Amino acid sequence: MLFKKVGHCLVVGVISMLSLPVFSAVIEHELGSTQVPDSPQRIVVLEFSFVDALAAVNVAPVGLADDNKPERIVAAYRKIIGSDWISVGTRKTPSLELTASLKPDLIIADKKRHSAAYATLSEIAPTIVLDSLVGDYPAAVKQMSVIGNALGKEEEMEQRITEHKAKIAAYAETFKALSDGMYVQFATARASRLTLHSASSYNGSLLNAFGFSSKLNPTDGDARANFYVPTTLEQLSELNPEVLILGNYADVTIIDQWKNEALYQNLSAVKAGKVFHVDAHSWSRLRGMVAAESTAEDLSAIMKKISAKK
Amino acid sequence: MSTVYSQRRALSVGLILSLCIVLVFIGSLSAGAVAISWQVIINTLFDLEGEQQTYIILNSRLPRSLLALLVGGCLAISGTIIQGLLRNPLASPKIIGINAGAALAVCLMTLLLPDLPMTYLPLAAVLGGTLAALIVYLGSHWRESSMTRLVLIGIAVGFVCEAGIDYILISSPPYQFSTPLVWLTGSLWSRGWSHLAMSWHLLIGLLISALILSYRLDLIRLGAVHAKGLGVNVGFERFLLLAIATLLASISVSVVGVLGFVGLMAPHIARSLVGGSHRTLIPIAILVGMLLVVLADACGRAIAPPIEISAGILTALFGGPFFIYILLKMGSTES
Amino acid sequence: MPKSSLYLLLSGLFVLAVLASLSSGGRSDVGLNELFGVFNGSNSALANTVMIDIRLPRTVCAALIGICLGLSGLILQAVTRNPLASPSILGINQGAALGLVATLVFPQAAAIGVGFLSVTGAIVAGGLTFIIAGGLQGKLNSLRLILGGITVGAFAYAFARFALTLDDDVASAVLQWSAGNVGDVRWPDAQLLIGWSVLGMVITLLLSHRFNLLALGDSSAQGLGADPRVTLLIGTLLAAVLAGVCVSIAGPIAFVGIVIPHVCRYLFGLDYRVLVGAVSLTGATLMVIGDALSKWMGGPSEMPIGVVVALIGAPYFLYQTFMEKDLG
């Protein structure tokens, strides 16, 4: 019996040594450094920006955290990664069991959400932890290189980044004639709250990359509330953006309540008919190169409307 | 409460409870997002030939369920001691401010030291919970001490902590508090051998010392005069027991988050089963606590996979009405 | 200090708070000058809009909520003869809040009316607490009243807090909602509150003699022709309605109902006929101060008034429990 077992172990061991990819690349990440296989095949990602990074270099994950709402993986991603991935639950508490059952060889996790589970995740597969939720657009692009390295697709990713930067620059160029320095404000609207995305947020810095400006530049003072600023109608009227881009998170929002008020109707953007609606999810929850390019397309449509008005 | 039950009854109740725990524990091994057949579970547990699911069974469900047992037992004995010493059936670790204090400390840590790894969360929780309990004890002894005072000051300390928590949560972006929010709802998500390894010596050590000391609870409860005659140093033993109970609850909460109502429910259920003598009450309460938490964790995994419902939410949903039931029952026996 | 000078002092404080609240807000170009400009006509249309359409109703609402919640607490403390009773301690606020959140989760429910659901939630929660405390036997146990109320409140909140494990967005919406906020109230809300607070003051004034008798004890009240059970029923219903209306407009705001009557008893004595006016003035003052602070705190955005008031009220409540001599 015992011999049988030992023999079994030996056989399994030899097979696994042959079949397992050789561990080579060492990836530096937020919680240290992790050895990852040469070109991982079965990848589980736990934030949307990591899906974006995979899609950028045509890699499909086997599992991802979609908050159990498959529609959160938008068409732009499905075009590339298909629909064969398995949902491992919410981004906040992804199911570790499901993750393990997918037998991944690389897990990409988020610093703010999954640090406490890093040890457990590392037991399942080599895990790298990146700060997906914090930081602006340039930081999000920088993260792409790290993921490129981890996927063993360093060159492909660098090439994609260069391509992406050129694309964004080209968009900025076409916007320039109309938009130079125009103050464009992106905000998300809920039933009882309007949240402005400041210049230091992902969306704000992305708008800057397109050549737009922002009057909402919270400096060091209160670092915590820097990115997303809940606002009142009065504060909005003081900022008075030239273009207001709204992403609705509810069917009936606070804007519907404000619509009939003099102060709202007095906003430059409202008076000039420059209030536009976009998909809140793909603008502000998703982040990365694919997402930024779809944002660029939305903006391009908006700019066309604006130039038609002139 | 004063019904006298025989030792034999306690023994049979204990055996039945243990059987329930074994059954629920086994059930807990099969509950989760990935369906695993019993054959595979047995293969994995006993390392038999055939298909195995090593990670899910041995590294995820087994340590989680063991941790649930341990924490459940600790919260239950903590609650029993606190109720016994304070002679107040409504007291619990939550009432003396441990949960709110721990929660505030966790939020403060995340706010003030955002770069500190989340692995330090338990340390902050122990400090906060103990500090809050200390304030409540001192406050209730500051003037003429009565049980009502203690309960009310506990509630007030809880309010102060919650006001602070609300302030911190509202003035911060949501992602900053992703991990603390999960912790605030009391979840065993991602708990594994490492958490067990970190806390079990301490918890088992405290649990045993509490067990050894707790048979004196009946003597202490007789009142200072009688107890002194029987050779009990009332003041010191009271202090020691309260300290142990506070630590047990704080450490438990620090490992799994705010798991409310277990420390309150377990002693009550146990008392209705075997009566109020602490010699039998305490072991039975421990078993009840174990059963409650393992059950809550297993249900939370089984209800809506792959989403996990925090064990703390389930214990609160059961515990709230249970508490109201106790209050109503107290009302009818008093009048 | 004689009472007349106390009133004078409080009124002065109230006026200062109103000035502070009205002269601050989102637009930095609308301040004290523009406030006076409303009267002498020197304002731009914009400044007038900001002053009259946005800031004035907000300050008015804050003051009226202070009156309603203060009276609600005063009534509850009178009928339960318990100095710690108040809408938030007895679970009434949270019950109303649960009615409010029902409309967030099930949009169909909004057809019934947010106000109606909040008031219903408040009455149900208050009733449950009184039953737990032994209200059906006609004899309230003060400790059970407090513990029952806290539990009813915690249970109502547990349902709402469930959302914290879900999406970040839902979680922050629930947090925001559960904090109590007057940032987006307008004149229609203020009109509703004016009606209720006037009604509340009148009824409380009419009841104040009964409250005074009740303070003497059940038997003396009965002997003097005031059935304590009737007082209890009317008082609790009124308190629940007042709190429910406030919650439906601004969300749950805790501690006003407990702190204000306590401070007023200390300053103005125990006569409820005097206390009705005193509580109204002090409650309004506290809330307007809270409103002004909420505009200054919180960096680029505002801090919800519920959080500001809790940061003042919770420590005071702790102090109160430390100092209280006979707690049952």
CB contact under 8 A, A224 and B119: no
Q: What is residue B335's predicted lDDT score, i.e. its pLDDT?
A: 39
pLDDT at C151: 83
How many helices, marked H, and strands, marked E, lie in chain C? 14, 0
- Region C301-312 average pLDDT: 89
Per-residue pLDDT at B34 exceeds 50: yes
Q: Which of residues 155-194 of B touch C (CB under 8 A)?
A: 155-157, 159-160, 162-164, 166-167, 169-171, 174-175, 178, 181-182, 184-185, 187
> If pLDDT is split at 50, 70 and 90, which confidence band does A225 have?
low
pLDDT tens track for B88-107: 777 888 888 898 898 899 88
Burial of residue B335, with CB atoms counted within 10 A of its CB: 0-12 exposed, 13-18 middle, 19 or more buried? exposed
Measured from the Cβ of residue C136, the count of other Cβ atoms closer than 10 Å reads 11
User: What percent of chain B has pLDDT above 90?
Assistant: 28
CATH class of B2-334: mainly alpha
Question: What pLDDT shows up at residue A107?
Answer: 96
Residue C299 has pLDDT above 70, yes or no: no
Q: What residues does A129 pair with on adjacent strands? A: A109
Nearest chain C residue to B176 by CA distance is: C168
Burial of A289 by CB count in 10 Å (0-12 exposed, 13-18 middle, 19+ buried)? Answer: buried
Beta strand spans in A65-178 (E): 86-87, 106-110, 127-130
Note the pLDDT of residue C224: 74
Q: What is the DSSP string of C219-276?
A: HHHHHTT--HHHHHHHHHHHHHHHHHHHHHHH----SHHHHHHHHHHHHH-S-HHHHH
**Percentage with pLDDT > 90 across chain A:** 60
Q: Does A22 have pLDDT greater than 80? A: no
Stretch B33-51: mean pLDDT: 86
B333 touching C (Cβ < 8 Å): no
Kindly indicate the confidence band of residue B224, based on its pLDDT and cuts at 50, 70 and 90: low
State the DSSP code for C51: I
Give CA–CA dist A263/A252, Å, rounded: 20
Contact with chain A for residue B33, Cβ under 8 A: yes
3-class DSSP state of C177: helix
Residue A88 has what pLDDT?
A: 93
Give the closest-approach CA distance of A86 to chain C in angstroms: 19
Q: Which of B175, B188, B191 best tests the A interface by mutation, with the highest count of A CBs <10 A? A: B175
And the tokens for B203?
């918890």
Give the separation between CA A49 and CA A169, rounded to whole angstroms.
21
The pairing of strands A127-130 and A106-110 is parallel
- The closest CB to that of A254, out of C45, C184, C299, belongs to C184
Binary contact (C184, A232; C-beta < 8 A): yes
CB contacts, 8 Å: A228 with chain B: 173
Q: What is the pLDDT of residue A16?
A: 44
Strand partners, C58: none
pLDDT at residue B230 above 80? no
Query: What is the per-residue pLDDT for C30?
Result: 87
pLDDT tens by residue, C116-164: 888 999 999 999 998 888 777 767 777 788 888 888 888 787 776 665 5
Mean model confidence pLDDT for chain A: 86
Measured distance CA(B119)–CA(A48) in Å, rounded: 24
CA A123 to chain centroid, in Å, comes to 26
CB distance C263 to C115 below 8 Å: no
CB within 8 Å: B172 and A224: yes
Q: Which residue has the higher pLDDT, C123 or B51?
A: C123
| H or E segment and range at residue A64 | strand A63-64
Residue that wins the pLDDT comparison between B171 and A27: A27
- When pLDDT is cut at 50, 70 and 90, the band that residue C24 belongs to is confident
- Identity of the residue in C132, C161, C255 whose CB atom sits nearest the CB atom of B324: C132
What token pair was written down for B34? 């990935």
State the CB neighbour count (10 A cutoff) for residue B276. Answer: 20
B172 touches chain A (CB under 8 A): yes
* Closest C-alpha among A273, A240, A29 to residue A147: A29
Per-residue pLDDT, A9: 46
Over 60: is that where the pLDDT of B225 sits? Answer: no
CA A62/CA C140 separation, integer angstroms = 61
Q: Which residue of A has its CA nearest to B188?
A: A93
Which pLDDT score, from 0 to 100, does residue C16 have? Answer: 96
Rg (CA), chain A: 23
pLDDT attached to residue A12: 45
**How confident is the model over C246-281, as pLDDT tens digits?**
998 998 898 999 999 999 999 999 999 999 999 999
Cα–Cα distance measured from residue B82 to residue B223, given in angstroms and rounded to the nearest whole number: 16
Is the separation of the CB atoms in C283 and C69 below 8 Å?
yes
pLDDT tens digits, A176-185: 877 778 899 9
The per-residue pLDDT of chain B, averaged, comes to 84
Cβ–Cβ < 8 Å for C305, C291: yes
- Is the link from the previous residue into C300 a cis peptide, with omega within 30 of 0? no
**Token digits for C206?**
């009419």
Cα(A292)–Cα(A298) distance, integer angstroms: 10
pLDDT for C105 beyond 50: yes
In chain C, what residues touch B148 (CB-CB under 8 Å)? Answer: 143, 327-328
pLDDT higher than threshold 90 for residue C292: yes
As a whole number of angstroms, the distance between CA B267 and CA B82 comes to 10
| Average confidence (pLDDT) over C291-295 | 93
Q: What is the mean pLDDT of residues A102-116?
A: 91
Q: Which of A217-231, B28-42, B108-122, B197-211 has the lowest mean pLDDT?
A: A217-231
User: In which residue are the tokens 């008034």 written?
Assistant: C305
Q: Which amino acid is at C196?
A: W
- Percentage of the residues of chain A whose pLDDT score is greater than 70: 89
- Nearest Cα residue to A267 out of A187, A190, A207: A187
3-state secondary structure chain B: CCCCCCHHHHHHHHHHHHHHHHHHHHHHHHCCCCCCCHHHHHHHHCCCCCCCCHHHHHHHHHHHHHHHHHHHHHHHHHHHHHHHHHCCCCCCCCCCCHHHHHHHHHHHHHHHCCCCCHHHHHHHHHHHHHHHHHHHHHHHHHCCCCHHHHHHHHHHHHHHHHHHHHHHHHCCCHHHHHHHHHHHCCCCCCCCHHHHHHHHHHHHHHHHHHHHHHCCHHHHHCCHHHHHHCCCCHHHHHHHHHHHHHHHHHHHHHHHCCCCCHHHHHHHHHHHHHCCCHHHHHHHHHHHHHHHHHHHHHHHHHHCCCCCCCHHHHHHHHHHHHHHHHHHHHHHHHC
Decide if B128 contacts B106 (C-beta within 8 A): yes
The verdict on a CB contact (< 8 Å) between B61 and A97 is yes
pLDDT at A13: 44
Across the range A241-261, mean pLDDT stands at: 91
- Give the pLDDT confidence of B148-163 residue by residue, as tens digits: 788 888 889 988 998 8
ipTM over 0.95: no
Of C84, C162, C320, the CB nearest to B313: C162
**Residue C232 pLDDT class (50, 70, 90 cuts):** confident
Interface check for B55 against chain A (CB to CB < 8 A): the answer is: yes
- Average pLDDT for C41-57: 89
Average pLDDT over residues B38-56: 85
Q: What is the CA radius of gyration of chain C?
A: 20
Average pLDDT over residues C198-208: 95
Nearest-angstrom CA–CA distance, B246 and B228:
25
Q: How near does any CA of chain C get to the CA of A13, in Å?
A: 41
3-state secondary structure (DSSP) of residue A25:
strand
- Region C10-17: mean pLDDT is 96
Task: Say whether pLDDT at B177 is over 80.
Answer: no
State residue B303's pLDDT score: 87
Q: Give pLDDT, residue A263.
A: 92
Choose between C271 and B329: higher pLDDT.
Answer: C271
pLDDT at position C187 is 93
- Residue C184, pLDDT above cutoff 60: yes
The per-residue pLDDT for A15 is 45
> What pTM was computed for the model?
0.85
The yes-or-no verdict on residue B2 having pLDDT over 50 is no
**Token digits for B271?**
């008392």
Question: Which tokens in the block code for residue B69?
Answer: 């047992």
Number of C-beta neighbours around residue C166 at 10 A = 16
pLDDT of residue C273: 93
Q: Could you tell me which of C115, C68, C63 has the C-alpha nearest to residue C249?
A: C115
DSSP C287-318: HHHHHHHHHHSSTTSPPPHHHHHHHHHHHHHH
Which band of pLDDT confidence, cut at 50, 70 and 90, is reported for residue B258?
Answer: confident
